Amino acid sequence: MSDVLYNEAIKAILEQDKDKAIEVAKKAIDSGSDPMEIMNHGFIVGITQVGDQFSRGTMFLPELVLSAEAMLAATEVIMAKMPGGAGQHSANIVAATVQGDMHDLGKGIAVAMFRANGYTVHDIGRDVPVETIIDYAEKNKIDIIATSALLTTTMVEQKKLEEALRAAKLRDKYKTLVAGGPVTARWAKRIGADIYAEDANDGVVQVRNLQK
């Protein structure tokens, strides 16, 4: 596969061009090459650069969302041609905004970023009780439980999740990720969470590091 096609894929993501991303993905498939080549050397390079720019403050939230949507669209085209979902990451993630919290924009961006990077993510919404999160994880072979809290008053739900998992003797079965505006690394350590994500891109990086 040519460097030209890789560069087109990267550019489509950086420029938030969903239609172009789909076009490049289809062009790569039609070329007869391994679909994962355009993913690894094109689209993933692009979404990684987007995440870096967002972390540095040189790309803003609306652009991040559009880039993630373009990446997800391209990913769906590529993965549809992969037997048995080959190329996907092994982690199976459930994501929820905790009970009492109706803010889910940040979670939505994180879900898009994880999916764009090849992870399987089950988004079960906002205002979700701890019991519902655990029940879903148990029934769907989840590896990582990710929760978002955008209010200081709802952060306690993340602590309740950790306590409920320990009480049910399920804590060692799952890795937990906590995120949200008021959430900090200190809070994650205090409640016993495995991963603290500063933002959507950092969440992907932290989960990737966890799997190494």
Domains of the chain (ranges; CATH) run 3-85 (1.10.1240.10), 92-210 (3.40.50.280)
Tell me if 142 sits within 8 A of 160, measured CB to CB: no
Rounded Cα–Cα distance for residues 206 and 112 (Å): 16
Whole-model pTM: value is 0.73
- The whole-number pLDDT of residue 88 equals 56
- The whole-number pLDDT of residue 82 equals 65
Beta bridge partners of 96: 147
- The whole-number pLDDT of residue 83 equals 55
- The whole-number pLDDT of residue 4 equals 93
- The whole-number pLDDT of residue 15 equals 97
- The whole-number pLDDT of residue 86 equals 42
Tell me if 68 sits within 8 A of 109, measured CB to CB: yes
In this structure, the strands spanning 175-179 and 92-97 are unpaired
Residue-level pLDDT, tens digit, the chain, 212 residues: 689 999 999 999 999 999 999 999 999 999 988 887 898 899 989 988 998 898 889 998 889 889 988 988 998 888 777 654 444 567 899 999 999 998 877 888 888 888 878 889 999 999 999 999 999 999 999 999 999 999 999 999 999 999 999 999 999 999 999 999 999 999 999 999 999 999 888 999 999 888 77
